[in-house]
């Protein structure tokens, strides 16, 4: 049975990487507690998975890398399981990442922890124990090797002596505490938060909060801008770092009482916002004559052909990070019946083989009977868009909404305030407001609103039109009167037509009634990439709060 769209869209998966190094279960339990707290609104469904499977981890919305133990052994374990690549990919894709204790240290280039817990045979493994000068650009002689003020000359390893290598995601070295200190540092220590208002991990964390540390080494970043908090133990050291969606802490939030739980809850919310951003951007794949095309204002005579292989186009969009695709059968829209379901089925199969995550496909164009809709679902689409049927057959729409709860969308295609139908070639004479009211009365709770005059023009989306229709339908962020197995289904409005660049995506994401934005010509013309659109959606959703 197809899951409720509410469940499918809002389930957020966080993978805790199991590489045989320590405190996995305590971290997972603390995250589960934080996830339960974060799920208080009833629509956020965080799920915590402990996994050593790279494929499972790659499909997760957020990654947690905990760890207690020796640096070199940890890196060897990560490599053996293929999880080092998972960490690099997640961070490069801007998926939220949280490193804890050793999971912080592994992000850096090298460690002064001699032999790093490696067994003698592991020390001889190629690549497991390279000397600093043997890897140009990563362990350059002199990088991070000079003692800081107050450190003794000769403390730590010097260039050429051979240091165990880390992931090299952040530049800098892991250093041992100065001589004379009792190590490891075990116990509570005060945090000095840096730019707390700008760091979502620190939301609700009071100044001067105490957290629990257990460590003999600390990170020494080359770039001071990544330091998010410091603490003092003989020397002032970086207790936390942040770069974008990368967060990492030297202390143990899972052992840090309510302060640590607050931080973990904040991370869960960061993952949820990132997932919501991924669902917010809908790259368009318009099909005509077996090709990927774009029309201007829905005019078949003003067509731009972008690719002869729409399957390859869809696969590349997903490869770049798309989680939703907005597919339109233009031939079907003009003919009044689906014409390209075989091609749609090939797209659906290809993107799901390509994707490391669940990809949702919505289809519009010529779906005017129950058989058409069932054939579309059989082809592998997740959601169908009904336009002309809203006016031609109210009983059909009501039955389809009941049968496929949460997976039927109303396509409100507007030209000069009135709804156009049959491939935008006929005017209905009805105002868009009236059609929205009719759709709501039929049980529809998901809408895609297109300003035909702006579609394909790069003139900017008509956010005011969508706002007006959302107000007509009712509060889009509140529960509707239609409930399914997953509870009340919220109203949802997707903006379509005219998007120029990432600024339009961010503007749409800032608005409380917007649940997504279709991006077409701007993607194909290279004005914005999928990655840029996703980043813009994250910024807008964070600003929305």
What domains can you pick out in the chain, each with its CATH number?
Answer: 5-255 (3.40.50.880), 277-544 (3.20.20.70)
Q: What is the pLDDT of residue 503?
A: 96
pLDDT of 309 above 60: yes
Instruction: Kindly name the residue from 18, 61, 286, 372 that is annotated as catalytic.
Output: 286
Q: Whole-angstrom Cα distance, residue 290 to residue 11?
A: 34
Q: 495 CB contacts (<8 Å, ≥6 apart)? A: 449, 461, 463, 466, 508, 514, 516, 517, 518
pLDDT of 182 above 80: yes
Q: What is the pLDDT of residue 143?
A: 34
Task: Give 250 or 482, the one with higher predicted confidence.
Answer: 250
Pick from 201-215, 404-418, 475-489, 522-536: least confident: 475-489
Percentage of the residues of the chain whose pLDDT score is greater than 70: 85
pLDDT of 354 above 90: no
Exposed/middle/buried for residue 232 (C-beta within 10 Å: 0-12, 13-18, 19+): exposed
Residue given tokens 């749609």 in the structure block: 344
Pure H helices in 199-299: 257-280
Q: What is the pLDDT of residue 234?
A: 95
Q: What is the pLDDT of residue 77?
A: 95
Q: What is the pLDDT of residue 94?
A: 82
| Mean pLDDT, range 439-449, rounded to an integer | 93
Q: What is the pLDDT of residue 352?
A: 87
- Whether 329 sits among the annotated catalytic residues: the reply is no
Q: Is 541 helix (H, G, I), strand (E, B) or coil?
A: helix
Pick from 306-310, 472-476, 538-542: least confident: 472-476
Q: Whole-angstrom Cα distance, residue 515 to residue 537?
A: 10
| Mean pLDDT, range 445-455, rounded to an integer | 94
Q: What is the pLDDT of residue 490?
A: 62
pLDDT of 137 above 60: no
Residues in the chain: 545
- The pLDDT tens digits for 425-434 are 778 789 999 9
Q: What is the pLDDT of residue 424?
A: 72
| Mean pLDDT, range 200-205, rounded to an integer | 95
- Whether 53 sits among the annotated catalytic residues: the reply is no
Q: What is the average pLDDT score of the chain?
A: 85
- The pLDDT tens digits for 356-388 are 677 999 999 999 999 999 999 999 999 999 999
Q: What is the pLDDT of residue 481?
A: 39
Percentage of the residues of the chain whose pLDDT score is greater than 90: 66
pLDDT of 508 above 80: yes
Q: What is the pLDDT of residue 98?
A: 98
Q: What is the pLDDT of residue 356?
A: 65
- The pLDDT tens digits for 75-134 are 999 999 999 999 999 998 888 999 999 999 999 999 998 755 444 444 444 444 333 322
pLDDT of 397 above 50: yes
Q: What is the pLDDT of residue 133?
A: 27
Q: What is the pLDDT of residue 478?
A: 36
Q: 101 CB contacts (<8 Å, ≥6 apart)? A: 23, 66, 67, 68, 214, 215, 249, 250, 251, 252
Q: What is the pLDDT of residue 473?
A: 82
Q: Whole-angstrom Cα distance, residue 29 to residue 17?
A: 14
Q: What is the pLDDT of residue 43?
A: 52
pTM for the full predicted model: 0.72
Torsion, Cα of 532, 273, 53, 31 (10° steps): 150
Q: Is 287 helix (H, G, I), strand (E, B) or coil?
A: strand
Instruction: Kindly name the residue from 331, 382, 413, 451 that is annotated as catalytic.
Output: 413
């Amino acid at each position: 049975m197809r899951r409720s769209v509410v469940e499918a869209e809002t389930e957020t998966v966080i993978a805790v990487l199991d590489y045989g190094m320590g405190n996995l279960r305590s971290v997972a339990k603390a995250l589960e507690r934080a996830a339960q707290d974060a799920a208080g609104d009833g629509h956020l469904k965080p799920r915590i998975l402990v996994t050593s499977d790279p494929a499972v981890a790659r499909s997760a919305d957020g990654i947690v890398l905990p760890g207690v133990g020796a640096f070199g052994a940890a890196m060897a374990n990560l490599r053996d399981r293929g999880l080092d690549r998972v960490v690099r990919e997640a961070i490069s894709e801007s998926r939220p990442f949280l490193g804890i204790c050793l999971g912080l240290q592994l992000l850096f280039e090298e460690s002064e922890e001699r032999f790093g817990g490696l067994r003698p045979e592991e020390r001889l493994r190629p690549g497991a124990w390279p000397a600093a000068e043997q890897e140009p650009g990563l362990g350059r002689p002199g990088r991070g090797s000079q003692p800081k003020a107050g450190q003794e000359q000769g403390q730590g390893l010097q260039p050429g002596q051979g240091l165990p290598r880390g992931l090299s995601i952040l530049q800098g070295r892991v250093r041992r505490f100065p001589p004379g200190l009792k190590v490891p540092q075990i116990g509570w220590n005060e945090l000095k938060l840096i730019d707390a208002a700008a760091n979502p991990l620190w939301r609700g964390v009071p100044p001067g909060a105490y957290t629990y540390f257990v460590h003999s080494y600390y990170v020494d970043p080359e770039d001071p801008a990544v330091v998010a908090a410091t603490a003092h133990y003989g020397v002032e050291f970086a207790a936390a770092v942040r770069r974008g969606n990368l967060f990492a802490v030297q202390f143990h939030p899972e052992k840090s009482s309510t302060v640590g739980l607050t931080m973990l809850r904040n991370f869960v919310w960061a993952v949820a916002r990132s997932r919501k951003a991924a669902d917010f951007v809908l790259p368009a794949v318009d099909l005509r004559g077996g090709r990927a095309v774009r029309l201007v204002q829905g005019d078949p005579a003003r067509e731009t052909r972008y690719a002869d292989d729409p399957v390859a186009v869809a696969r590349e969009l997903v490869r770049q990070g798309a989680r939703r695709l907005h597919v339109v059968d233009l031939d079907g829209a003009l003919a009044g019946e689906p014409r390209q379901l075989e091609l749609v089925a090939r797209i659906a199969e290809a993107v799901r083989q390509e994707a490391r995550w669940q990809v949702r496909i919505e289809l519009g164009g010529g779906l005017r009977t129950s058989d058409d809709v069932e054939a579309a679902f059989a082809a592998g689409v997740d959601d169908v868009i009904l336009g002309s049927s809203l006016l031609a057959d109210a009983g059909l729409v009501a039955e389809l909404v009941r049968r496929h709860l949460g997976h039927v969308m109303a396509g409100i295609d507007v030209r000069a305030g009135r709804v156009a139908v049959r491939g935008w070639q006929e005017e209905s004479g009805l105002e868009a407001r009236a059609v929205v009211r009719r759709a709501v009365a039929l049980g529809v709770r998901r809408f895609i609103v297109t300003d035909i005059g702006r579609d394909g023009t790069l003139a900017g989306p008509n956010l005011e039109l969508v706002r007006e229709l959302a107000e007509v339908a009712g509060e889009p962020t509140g529960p509707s009167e239609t409930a399914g197995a997953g509870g009340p289904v919220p109203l949802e409005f997707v903006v379509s037509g005219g998007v120029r660049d990432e600024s339009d995506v961010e503007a749409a994401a800032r608005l409380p009634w917007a649940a997504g934005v279709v991006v077409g010509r701007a993607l194909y013309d290279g004005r914005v990439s999928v990655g840029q659109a996703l980043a813009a959606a994250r910024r807008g959703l964070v600003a929305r709060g």
